[in-house]
Amino acid sequence: MARSPSSELPFEVLTTTWACAVCGADDARPYRAAMYAIGPRTFDMVRCRRCGLVYCNPRPDSGTLGRMYDDEEYYTHGYNLGVEDQNYFERKDELIAEAEEEWAALEQEVGGRGAALELGSAGGFFLEGARRRGWQVAGVELSPPAARYSREELGLEVFEGWLADAPYEPERFDVAVADNVLEHTTDPRQTLRELRALVRPGGHLLVIVPSYVNSGIFRLLLAARAVLPRRLLGPQLCAMLKFGDGDGGYPYHILEFDRRTLVRLVESAGLEIVSVQGSVPRPAHLFKREDLSPVERLLRGVFVVLDALMRWRLAPPASVRLLARRPRS
Ligand SMILES: [Zn+2]
């Protein structure tokens, strides 16, 4: 669950202003006020008039971002963004099993197994899924408790810190993964270039970003805020839809891509697009239990239909999965 805005600052909060991280323009209009909060300090989202990127401006400065990720609550509360009712580490077995399925699909797309790197490897469950299928795996993770967990509990090779400081040889990997990472970064193009350098020519890069906040569905909801009372939706749905002020908790997502802005960014980092697919992340608690209330059953149906519409490009995606390739020459 996201935390509610409180009157106290948990640590010193400094901010900085920035231009669009995709097209470089400093020409944005207000998009969503008070989307996130650290204590009483709220953060607004703006939208680039040139390319359509949505971003947090002013954003926390790098020192403040560091303090946000040092917070132990990141993986127990902030990480799920109100979507799940269990904390990340409690979902270990389920997430490793899901990862194995995702790697099986990815192997079809990239033509086999090899060495894989995950940026933002969290507790290491996605990498562990790959290792169980015969991949050689390594990770990079900024959060000390998460990096420690993946090394000590799973015995994975995980570097704790920034990607630029990671001790990995250039072109060591066949596949690099950035799953729900780019939206957290202050220079996503540079991050992609660093990943590109670590992948062999002809190797692949899998990028997954949330895109609900930069979608027509969210914009419709924003327009409805004036007439739709929060209590009608209930606290859980409100948090899931990021409907209430400060519902998103800390401003972890300082960038919000859509399909178009993500493709533009990836191409500008010197990568070729292989495939782009939209989907909606399914709340696990709606899909793994059978004792659902009628409302939950209805909600599960809505997710199934939405997911199909997004995969067929009939609705704006809540999540974009992009597979890219480093050119051979
Ligand atoms: Zn822009």
Q: How far is the CA of 58 from the centre of ligand 1 (A)?
A: 15
Same-domain check for residues 97 and 194: yes
Give the global pTM: 0.89
Q: What is the CATH number of the domain that holds 154?
A: 3.40.50.150
The pLDDT of residue 81: 42
pLDDT string in tens for the chain (329-residue length): 344 456 678 889 999 999 999 999 999 999 999 999 998 899 999 999 999 999 999 999 999 998 888 766 666 555 544 445 567 888 899 999 999 999 999 999 999 999 999 999 999 999 999 999 999 999 999 888 889 999 999 999 999 999 999 999 999 999 999 999 999 999 999 999 999 999 999 999 999 999 999 999 899 888 887 777 777 777 777 777 777 766 668 899 999 999 999 999 999 999 999 999 987 777 777 777 778 888 888 888 888 888 888 788 888 888 999 999 999 97
Instruction: Indicate whether 129 and 202 sit together in one domain.
Output: yes
Report how far ligand 1's centroid is from the alpha carbon of 54 (Å): 8
Q: Are residues 20 and 47 in the same domain?
A: yes
Q: How far is the CA of 24 from the centre of ligand 1 (A)?
A: 6
Range of the domain at 270: 88-209+258-280
Domain-located, residue 310: no
Are 276 and 183 members of one domain? yes
**Is 181 in the same domain as 241?**
no
Whether 50 and 162 map to the same domain: the answer is no
**Same domain, yes or no: 162 and 80:** no
Q: What is the pLDDT of residue 239?
A: 75
The Å distance, Cα 317 to ligand 1 centre, comes to 20
User: Of 189, 186, 212, 210, which Cα lies nearest the Cα of 271?
Assistant: 189
Give 26 Cα–ligand 1 centroid separation in angstroms: 8
| Pair (158, 272) in one structural domain | yes
Asked if the structure places residue 49 within a domain, the reply is: yes
45 and 186 inside one domain: no
Ligand 1 center from residue 245 Cα (angstroms): 25
Q: What total of structural domains would you count in the chain?
A: 2
- Residue 328 within a domain: no
Residues 168 and 249 in one domain: no
